[in-house]
Amino acid sequence: MANYFNTLPLREQLAQLAKCRFMYSSEFADGVEALKGKKMVVIGCGAQGLNQGLNLRDSGLDVSYALRPEAIEQKRQSWKNATENGFTVGTYEELIPTADVVLNLTPDKQHTSVVTAVMPLMKEGACLSYSHGFNIVEEGMKIRDDLTVIMVAPKCPGSEVRAEYVRGFGVPTLIAVHEANDPKGEGLALAKAYAVGTGGHKAGVLMSSFIAEVKSDLMGEQTILCGMLQTGSILCFDKMIEEGIEPGYASKLIQYGWENITEALKYGGVTNMLDRLSNPAKIKAFDLAEELKEIMRPLYNKHQDDIMSGHFSHTMMEDWANDDANLHKWRAETAETNFEKTPAGDVEITEQEYFDNGILMVAMVKAGVELAFETMTAAGIIAESAYYESLHETPLIANTIARKKLYEMNATISDTAEYGCYLYNHACVPLLADFMKGIKSDVIGKGLNVDDNGVDNARLIEVNDALRAHPVEAVGAVLRGHMADMKKIV
């Protein structure tokens, strides 16, 4: 099997990368109809498998789980997830031949072996679905000609797929039909119904391609979504300790800080997040973010280049072949960081204080969101998709850190995202070493020590104009306009 993207001529690569259309709610008027009465069999019951299955069932669809024999015999977590939630569980042989739609929700590493095992069991003309296009795009998996192949990719962790659905909302979702596998021309109808079943249509659905999804998903998760939050947590915590801030306070400010400040981002973009600061603090955060952007831009470019060329997937697949040695080593190292080992103190921090004492965190989020957006769009990814993969999803990842720090984030995201997050972190921590030497507790831990909040009018106007003029703000305002059902979290 070869990297499918790399086999395409350049103009086809560009056309696939640019494939992305926002779908209007009227296009979902048929709801889940195309899947009503059809048997949906999910393989794997982990982060996406369990949570998508719960939503689909609550949307009136017929969902069951096919697990590998050892998971059933040993009553593993996947078996518990499915049975404790009242789902029917069976082996591939028992359930796959009855399935109209098979949802492959196993880790990307397993896709080739899982799909190879289930394909011969699938009935003629059935549908195979993915939530990430890695197997098709980066590994070049070939699927039986009679099968329809679709992708329904929630732009968010599985836990939030469920939490947002329960709140009456959903998460932005990319759907695609693999053009080589749409023999009955029903792929789009099935993907749309599936997106409705998970609640995705309430937040926004983009009709895209497997390629655009993969190249944007990998970029978002490695940089702003997970990598930047991991690096920011580690650096901000260590700096606060160096500056004499009480460890329990420092731990709490970061653990819950990302969630609090990015909630403002979710509602009103980068502009609103910075508007939550006093005028002097806003100008400080803006200047810090400009500096961070200059330092980190080459790193963002490198991640995008390595994703486009296939270098990233190649090196990760080498680690797969080596029993995930690097992934396991880096996971263990993360557990040993000071931030991870210091429990949040029993101290009151108001919502506003997270902004006032977390100016550097605000600057890191601004820099990361804008850089990820700029890098993705420069590489041919459409603005709407880049927005979901940078700005909109950051709060959804921040929610996982609030639950149980970096451990929870890395446990909830896919192994692919976790691997890329560590790669970014290893490069970004040393890159920011000199920058961090100049940082004091006025921007992380204590807040600005100013006698009055006066600022130069001309400078404030310049900063406000620059914030509002960034292209992520323009597309964000339009997309958020379609999110009427969005619910408040903090």
Ligand X SMILES: CC[C@](O)(C(C)=O)C(=O)O
Compare residues 216 and 271 and give the one whose CB is closer to ligand X.
216
Q: Locate tokens 């580690």: which residue?
A: 234
Q: How far apart are CA 381 and CA 18, in angstroms?
A: 6
- Residue 122 vs 444, nearer CB to ligand NDP: 122
Q: Is 400 in the site for ligand X (CB under 6 A)?
A: no
d(CA 156, CA 29): 24
Per the annotation, does 45 bind a ligand? yes
Which residue in the list 132, 201, 392, 470 is annotated as catalytic? 132
Catalytic residue check, 132: yes
Chain residues 188-227 in contact with Mg ion, contact rule CB under 5 A: 217, 221
Identity of the residue, 54 or 413, whose beta carbon is nearer to ligand NDP in the bound complex: 413
Task: Kindly state the smallest distance separating residue 172's Cβ from ligand X, in Å.
Answer: 10
Q: Which of residues 415-434 bind Mg ion (CB under 5 A)?
A: 417
Choose which of 54, 235, 413, 421 interacts with ligand NDP (CB under 6 A): 413
Interactions with ligand NDP, residue window 136-195 (CB under 6 A): 153-154, 157-158
- Tell me the residue nearest to ligand NDP as measured from the CB: 46
User: Hey, how many other C-beta atoms are within 10 angstroms of the C-beta on 481?
Assistant: 8
Query: Helix, strand or coil for residue 264?
Result: helix
| Per-position x/- string for 215-254, each x denoting binding to ligand X as judged by CB under 6 A, each - no binding | --x---x---xx----------------------------
Read off the amino acid at residue 452: D
Is 228 within 8 Å of 364 (Cβ atoms)?
yes
**Rounded to 5°, angle at Cα 194 from 189 and 197:** 130
Count of residues interacting with ligand X (CB under 6 A): 12
Binding mask 262-281 for Mg ion (x = CB under 5 A): --------------------
Using CB atoms within 10 Å of the CB of residue 244, give its burial: 0 to 12 exposed, 13 to 18 middle, 19+ buried: exposed
What is each CA distance from 290 to 56, 215, 242, 294, 325, in whole angstroms?
Answer: 43, 26, 24, 6, 37
226 binds, among ligand NDP, ligand X, Mg ion, none (CB under 5 to 8 A by kind): ligand X
| Smallest distance from ligand X to CB 187, Å | 22
Find tokens 């395409």 and name the residue: 8
Binding of ligand X by 392 (CB under 6 A): no
| Angle at which helices 279-309 and 311-321 cross, to 10° | 70
Q: Is 200 in the site for ligand X (CB under 6 A)?
A: no
Query: Of 64, 416, 425, 441, which lies in the binding site for ligand X, with binding defined by CB under 6 A?
Result: 416
Run of H or E residues at 186: none
Q: State the Cα–Cα distance between residues 27 and 156, nearest whole angstrom.
A: 22
Which whole-number Å values give the CA distances from 64 to 60, 111, 192, 197, 457, in the listed order? 13, 19, 20, 15, 62
**55 lies in the site for ligand NDP, by CB under 6 A:** no
144 is in an annotated binding site: no
DSSP class of residue 123?
P
Least separation in angstroms between CB 221 and ligand X: 4
- Which residue from 356, 344, 189 is spatially nearest to 282, judged by alpha carbons? 356
DSSP for 300-348 reads HHHHHHHHHHTHHHHHHHHHHHTTTHHHHHHHHHHHTSHHHHSPPPS--
CB of 415 to ligand X, least distance (A): 8
Q: Pick the binder of ligand NDP from 198, 222, 385, 416 (CB under 6 A).
A: 416
In whole angstroms, how close is the CB of 6 to Mg ion at the nearest point? Answer: 20
Q: Residue positions in the annotated binding site for Mg(2+)? A: 217, 221, 389, 393
| Catalytic positions, written as ranges | 132
Question: Which chain residues interact with ligand NDP by CB under 6 A?
Answer: 43-49, 67-68, 71, 76-78, 105-108, 110, 113-114, 131-132, 153-154, 157-158, 412-414, 416
Give the footprint of ligand X on this chain (CB under 6 A): 155-157, 217, 221, 225-226, 397, 413-414, 416-417
